Structure 1
């Protein structure tokens, strides 16, 4: 399968093919919902999407991969080295370092004209995770999410293609990236606390009488406090509104790419449904969309994707 995708994308160099193959493996292993959605793209598009995922995951692993020997200073050094290697390869045209995620993403960036600034903004938000553990208000969280989530949507746009000017589709693409991340923030409060982080605006939590100590109580006792439930309900409603802002952007994409994005949007938004169905008891269980449901949604997407490709060939 990967060979046919790389053939379709015109990637023939053996070392480059291996770099893309490793990015695909990372995506399949660590981003199952996202990977499932990419299967709905045309084969020629998939390697580039895997490269973007592999790059983002590599940066995330530098920050969060458990290793007692690496303190924050060492993580900061490794992240800066990663950033410098990307800049040297993408901007200064130096030979890529021996890192398949960089090799693949630089090739993708050049092929689709994805600017350095988007990668720099992403890495700036990753650096914030080294020192920032709380966000006092919505504005500070928005600054973080621009680099950590919105730029992902912007990086994807040239790969997905648009029916009009790319800049017209950019706001919705950015909103979708933000919606996905807000969903993760709600689902993963428990896990993020273990990493010493809270990705919910402190002032909005405080309005319901919630602070880090209250969240820790919920984690220790594995049950939700009424105040926390009300705070999460508010965050849930905000996230729904972001999805509503992002949804019209699907129609701005190239028709062949719409089934992929529609599927990702549907599956991620259903995580919000699961959170609601478990009555926000996110400290007792993880809100997930079952494998059967994921396959059913993806199956419907396959039908739409094939139809879109057939129509494209007739035009």
Structure 2
């Protein structure tokens, strides 16, 4: 019972107490890629800690002092599991099913969100074949629409879409800066991270980690793409382009340069801050990787 309480407390800490603090952390906007890893680490930690806490809460007395070994024994996976014992009881089945249900909840939503994203992307690609005009010089597809907007449809056969309004509003340099931003989304496969956080937020509705994690990850992914564009273009060029396309809304399953938190991103682009010290971000990476392992170490103990 003590182990179950400890694991549950750890899950509450990760799921409710830490997210507001991480969302306000100043270093996150200075190292967005590391911050995305930190959010992913928290999500994995919450699922692992919750599953193990549920396992310990429903464990029968037979497995009470066996930790994770007891769960593996009930599954017949432990090396010393006896094959001649009686068939598993209902209690044994509950020990196995309860933590698996916690794990399957986000997995099920991940499958559903992936299917939805692929269906929405398929609809958009179908429309592009009808109304889009290829522009090989930009590596993009032009759509006859007055509102300035630039977005990408990532995945197999990815497309970057530019509206006529964007072509009219942006200079050549501004346009290429935004296109570089969108290529960063494509090459970084940011659509996969968006699907992951969307699935987690739907699986654990109301959880602060789900709300903050989705909001902050979407913003951080845009900052990562901004940083890619800033390698080749001046901050003023990218900032002006962002203002011009801010009103353009990207369709579902797309990543747009207007994106999340335009004002926050504008301030960040125009007033750049130094990256965290190497030792600091290495420590954050190590903590993000170690956080999901801690509940496993506790559960594996006798």
Give the TM-score normalised by structure 2.
Answer: 0.30
Give the TM-score normalised by structure 1.
Answer: 0.29
The structure that has the greater radius of gyration is 2
Higher RCO, 1 vs 2 (CA within 8 Å, ≥6 residues apart): 2
